[in-house]
Amino acid sequence: MIGSGKIVGKDVDILFSIPVKDIPGYKSPTNFDDLAKKNGNLDLPIRLAFSNENGERVLRAFKAGSLRVPSSVRGVVGIYDKNTGIFSAEIDGVPSRLVLENPAFPPIGNVGNTGNTAPDYKALLNTGVDVKPVDKITVTTTPVADPVDIDDYIIWLPTASGSGVEPIYIVFNSNPYGETNSKGKYSGRSFNTDKAGGPIQSLDWKTANIDRAGVDKVKLHTGRFAESDANKVMIDRLERILKGTLAVTDTDKRFYTHEIRELERYRNLGIKDGVVPSNQGEVWNNTHTATLEDYKIDERTESLYTSEAIKASEEQDMRESK
């Protein structure tokens, strides 16, 4: 178990990590690899969260499995860089949350067997904050009076099979999307209702009719973001639906209505079409989450992307990481 005890500033992320196998009561599912490749959810018996108590940052453990502290934790796929021997994972697509797994303590002499058979293995050494090993984790019963905003993930490295690298449970101390004041009833995401481009509405994606004007709006809105192979796949599907060569699915309707409504929320915030705001992560999170709430969607069970689009996204990530 590794944690950093040095706090540079209140706005700087603190990261705590522990091998999943060391979490008390954890039982590994047989399909862990498949779940991770799909960024699926994994159940843990306990979850951790940072809190401020008497002016100090404290890491607390909560028994999971209730409405306030659900047991489901998101799995994130990591990427292996064969040139450096380093494994990394980008959390929620936020560049500042690129987690690198490398030696916290410089190896002395020969590097031990990592399973990497490449001859000239070179490990990047930790040069950041102080890292402190913790002997064991102690779980105490903690009453939960208020909803807990837990920012945790499980990093799985499918390309590291046989290398000795294990799934890691990580916990952040802060939200990467700025100040939030609410948690979505359906999405489960934290966001700021005052900066979401208007109040939540009760909308129904099931009744959507895909037309030319709507597809053009989808293209207009998604065009402001970084190039996305997943979006390309979904937009191509919409074009084929318009031509009558592809039958529309529920996923198509969810994607279509979501992007159009998200565009409306950007406009309500005064953001011009095609413009990327300086606080794009915060704006996207607030409008994206509010739109999920508009349509009562939980992305974990009702995806906005088809399996083909998700695969395209994964391949893009792998390609761009080289």
Band the pLDDT of 54: cuts 50, 70, 90: low
Residues listed for the chain:
322
Mean pLDDT value across residues 214-229? 93
- Decide if pLDDT at 3 tops 50: no
- Decide if pLDDT at 8 tops 90: no
- Rounded to two decimals, the pTM is 0.55
Q: What is the pLDDT of residues 167-204, one digit of tens each?
A: 788 888 766 577 889 989 999 888 999 999 999 999 99
Tokens, residue 33: 């690899």
CB atoms within 10 A of CB 287: 24
Domain range summary for the chain, segments of one domain joined by +: 2-176, 183-320
Mean pLDDT value across residues 83-109? 61
- Pair 228, 314: CB distance under 8 Å: no
When the pLDDT of each residue in the chain is averaged and rounded to a whole number, the result is: 76
- Decide if pLDDT at 31 tops 60: yes
Helix axis angle, 229-243 to 250-268, nearest 10°: 110
- Pair 127, 49: CB distance under 8 Å: no
Q: What is the pLDDT of residues 125-154, one digit of tens each?
A: 444 445 455 444 444 444 443 445 678 888
Pairing of strands 2-3, 15-19: antiparallel
What does the pLDDT read at residue 170? 87
Q: What is the pLDDT of residues 257-274, one digit of tens each?
A: 999 999 999 999 999 999
Q: Which of 177-181, 247-251, 310-314 has the highest mean pLDDT?
A: 247-251
Strands (DSSP E) contained in the chain are 2-3, 15-19, 41-43, 46-53, 56-63, 72-77, 79-81, 86-90, 98-101, 132-133, 152-156, 168-172, 182-183, 190-191
